[in-house]
DNA sequence: CCCGCTGTTTTGCAAGGCTAACTAATAATA
DNA sequence: TATTATTAGTTAGCCTTGCAAAACAGCGGG
């Protein structure tokens, strides 16, 4: 596997693109809000998209390098968190259907990273259990955010870290707002490894 | 798309990658920095994941409602931006291979939203041109980010908007840092149409 | 014992990705 | 001029993720 990294390298220099948009924004008769507010909205959207995009591309790259896809790593992490979980729970947390989860588990189990154990209590349920191999894979899985971001973040001034956290949380809250359940995956982090007590 | 959902679907994948990080962060003997700083790092990562996740799920939903996938909308928007573009350019901007772009264009052209026209200058090149139908679709395409977020953002206090923009840009820069190109798609939004207004 | 629910898996289908291989046209070079 | 590279795009073949719907249990009441 391991194919090489796709065309990630072709880069377009976004900077230039970014600059273009302001003008368009200006097109609207500035009726409702100040020109200022508009620009800021655009700026924030652009920044969010940059975040999404770079995470996506970088993630593809890392996942490939790890021999597991991002989605697979995610499943492994969720399972690793508690040691075992039912397909339904995992599906719910990830926001995918049970059918999808079933095939994901198939693939992971073909790789010997998880095993299915029928539950004793209720034989309809399956417990997905992570294997040693799977646990190892989770530990070694490169983490896009971490690698790219953590060091830089930690080198920031204290006040700036605080500001960023507050802003990101605000944005996340605005996006969640609609009721999409957001969280599931989030806490994952905890499990893995944080010493978490 | 800006407005479109960035490949929301892809994002999904990435999401997963993100998750792991906590552990690693935790792995370090808290020698170098205070527990405080650590928490902030985790908080920021978690918030980013929330952003990624809700964008992804919401995007899937909207794309379905629109009858076009997020990726397709994205292509349309890029083409709409200038009226025409070569497959190669679009692929480059989106960070996918030419082969992938070729099939995307096939699908869009089956829907009569774009047409292929051989270039006169260089007959190896194809110009992908958006049709009236395609243009209409772009205008009507719901935009995940926009719909969920814009209104709320615009209702924030001025200082808060400024803070958020600064923070998001900081984060985006840190993520881009590695050299993954980030933005291309971003500015598209403008054209599509934020109701702007 | 039969019915209805409830977790899972199967089936069948589509989108999006990729690499490799192939075609066509243009550019370079002998 | 003829040959060779390069470049743009498409094709073929494969994989993963997703979903809905149908099929399979297994559990609980009646």
> What token pair was written down for B141?
């395409």
Contact, B193 vs A28, CB < 8 A? no
Minimum-distance nucleotide, CA of B99 to C1': D10
A161 pLDDT exceeds 80? yes
- Grouping H, G, I as helix, E, B as strand and the rest as coil, residue A116 is strand
A42 pLDDT exceeds 70? yes
Query: Which band of pLDDT confidence, cut at 50, 70 and 90, is reported for residue A79?
Result: very high
Residue A43 dihedral angles phi and psi, to the nearest 5°: -60, -40
| pLDDT value of position A142 | 67
| pLDDT value of position A62 | 77
* Residue A8 DSSP symbol: G
Rg, Å, chain B Cα set: 19
Contact between A150 and B52 using a beta-carbon 8 Å cutoff: no
Over residues A24-37, the pLDDT tens digits come to 333 333 334 444 54
Q: Considering only CA atoms, which of B169, B167, B147, B171 is closest in space to residue B159? A: B167
| pLDDT value of position B6 | 32
**How far, in Å, CA of A84 to CA of A90, rounded?**
10
The percentage of chain A sitting over the pLDDT mark of 90, rounded to a whole number, equals 36
Rounded to a whole number of angstroms, the distance from the CA of A166 to the nearest CA of chain B is 8
Highest mean pLDDT among A16-25, A76-85, B116-125: B116-125
Q: Give B101's Cβ-side CA count (13 Å radius).
A: 24
Of residues A138 and B9, more confidently modeled: A138
The sign of the CA dihedral A181, A53, B148, B137 is: negative
Which residue's structure tokens are 């971490």?
Answer: A146
> What token pair was written down for A95?
């926001």
* Residue A84 DSSP symbol: E
Query: Which band of pLDDT confidence, cut at 50, 70 and 90, is reported for residue A141?
Result: confident
Contact, B137 vs B74, CB < 8 A? no
User: A110 burial class (0-12, 13-18, 19+ CB within 10 angstroms)?
Assistant: exposed
B98 CA from D4 C1′ (Å): 25
Rounded to a whole number of angstroms, the distance between the first and last alpha carbons of chain A is: 36
For the beta carbon of residue B153, count every other beta carbon within 10 angstroms: 22
Rounded to a whole number of angstroms, the distance from the CA of A123 to the nearest CA of chain B is 30
Query: Which band of pLDDT confidence, cut at 50, 70 and 90, is reported for residue A67?
Result: confident
A172 pLDDT exceeds 60? yes
Of residues A115 and B3, more confidently modeled: A115
| pLDDT value of position A58 | 78
**How far, in Å, CA of B129 to CA of A51, rounded?**
29
Query: Which band of pLDDT confidence, cut at 50, 70 and 90, is reported for residue A10?
Result: very low
C-alpha angle A162-A194-A172 in degrees, rounded to nearest 5: 40
Of residues A46 and A179, more confidently modeled: A46
Chain C bases near protein Cβ (<7 Å):
6-12, 15-21, 24-27
Query: What are the E-state strand segments in chain B?
Result: 84-85, 114-118, 126-130
Cite the DSSP H helix spans in chain A.
14-26, 35-66, 70-82, 87-94, 98-110, 132-140, 144-145, 151-154, 158-176, 188-192
Across the beta sheet with B114-118, the strand order is: B84-85, B126-130, B114-118
Looking at every residue in chain A, the average pLDDT score rounds to: 71
Which residues from B are below 8 Å from A18, CB to CB? 183, 186-187
> What token pair was written down for B8?
């929301």
Contact, B14 vs A59, CB < 8 A? yes
**How far, in Å, CA of A188 to CA of B103, rounded?**
36
Residues with CB under 7 A from strand C: A 3-7, 60, 86-89, 98-99, 101-103, 105-106, 116, 119, 124-126; B 7, 9-10, 69-72, 94-97, 99-100, 103-104, 107, 122-124
Question: Which residues of chain B, if any, have pLDDT below 70?
Answer: 1-38, 142-148, 177-197
pTM of the predicted model over 0.75 = no
- Grouping H, G, I as helix, E, B as strand and the rest as coil, residue B128 is strand
Contact between B165 and A28 using a beta-carbon 8 Å cutoff: no
> What token pair was written down for A187?
């806490």
| pLDDT value of position B59 | 78
Looking at every residue in chain B, the average pLDDT score rounds to: 72
The percentage of chain A sitting over the pLDDT mark of 70, rounded to a whole number, equals 66
Which candidate from A18, A150, A154 shows the least CB-CB separation from B186? A18
CATH topology of domain B70-140: Arc Repressor Mutant, subunit A (1.10.10)
Query: Which band of pLDDT confidence, cut at 50, 70 and 90, is reported for residue A143?
Result: low
Contact between B57 and A95 using a beta-carbon 8 Å cutoff: yes
Of residues A16 and B51, more confidently modeled: B51
Contact, B134 vs B80, CB < 8 A? yes
Which candidate from A37, A55, A188 shows the least CB-CB separation from B175? A55
Rounded to a whole number of angstroms, the distance from the CA of A121 to the nearest CA of chain B is 31
Residue A117 dihedral angles phi and psi, to the nearest 5°: -130, 125
| pLDDT value of position A52 | 82
């Amino acid at each position: 596997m391991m194919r090489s990294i796709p065309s990630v390298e072709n880069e377009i220099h976004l900077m230039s693109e970014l600059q273009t948009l302001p003008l368009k924004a200006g097109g609207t008769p500035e009726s409702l809000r100040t020109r200022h507010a508009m620009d800021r909205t655009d700026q924030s959207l652009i920044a969010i998209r940059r975040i999404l995009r770079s995470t996506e591309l970088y993630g593809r790259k890392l996942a490939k390098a790890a021999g597991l896809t991002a989605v697979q790593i995610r499943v492994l992490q969720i399972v690793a968190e508690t040691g075992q979980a039912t397909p339904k729970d995992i599906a719910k947390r990830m926001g995918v259907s049970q059918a999808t989860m079933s095939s994901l588990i198939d693939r992971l189990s073909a790789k010997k990273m998880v095993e299915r154990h029928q539950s004793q209590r209720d034989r309809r349920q399956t417990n997905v259990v992570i294997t040693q191999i799977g646990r190892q894979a989770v530990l070694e899985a490169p983490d896009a955010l971490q690698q790219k971001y953590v060091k830089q973040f930690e080198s920031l001034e204290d006040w700036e870290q605080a500001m960023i956290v507050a802003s990101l949380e605000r944005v996340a809250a605005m996006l969640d707002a609609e009721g999409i359940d957001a969280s599931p995956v989030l806490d994952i982090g905890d499990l893995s490894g944080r010493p978490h007590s």
